[in-house]
Structure 1
């Protein structure tokens, strides 16, 4: 009987150790995903779209999503000001990063900001 309880204690201890290791790894992954990406000469967007989780737009290029897409982070590592067409339009300055969710349809470089 004692041997059975010892084995049960070993199994419970191993299971708890495995769960705690898995839990800490999951927290690290979630933190890493929340960090905006940065690539010189590109706008980098992290989306909630499983088919297109990261989008890169080259400096000076326009980009249009096939359908309105939730973007969670945007980093503008270009030399241009961009107009972002979203639920409300906003400008994204060179070197600016944001980590607020927006539903975006398109974006493009601008010299005067966004109209409307």
Structure 2
């Protein structure tokens, strides 16, 4: 028969294994769902920024935004009717309804009613 301390060790080990299997998966799924669903607002471009003071930036349809310093943007969702030009380490555009889920160092984002970006 196992002693009290042995049973405690078995219970702790089993609990830790269950938390590892179930807890990590559930927490990861919840975090991914929050990140993906949390940055979509009709009529705005939403940027998730790696900045503790301003973790989310919303830009109204047709407006432009310039960061005070280059910032790491981890996702951009364009829920407007205008294409946006992103001034980053290399320039790119985000069409209406498009989302970009890759980190970029961004300095500004500008509305482009024509749908064309210079860079």
User: Is TM more than 0.5 here?
Assistant: yes
Matches within 5 A, 1:1-116: 2-4=2-4, 5-32=6-33, 35=36, 37-112=39-114, 113-116=116-119
Calculate the TM-score normalised by the size of structure 1: 0.82
Distance 2:91 2:102 in 1: 14
Distance 1:65 1:85 in 2: 10
- Runs of at least 4 residues off by over 6 Å: none
Stretches of structure 2 that go unaligned for 5 or more consecutive residues are none
Calculate the TM-score normalised by the size of structure 2: 0.80
What secondary structure is seen at the aligned counterpart in 2 of 1:35?
helix
**How many residues matched?**
116
What secondary structure is seen at the aligned counterpart in 1 of 2:80?
coil
Measured on the aligned residues, the alpha-carbon RMSD in Å equals 2.1
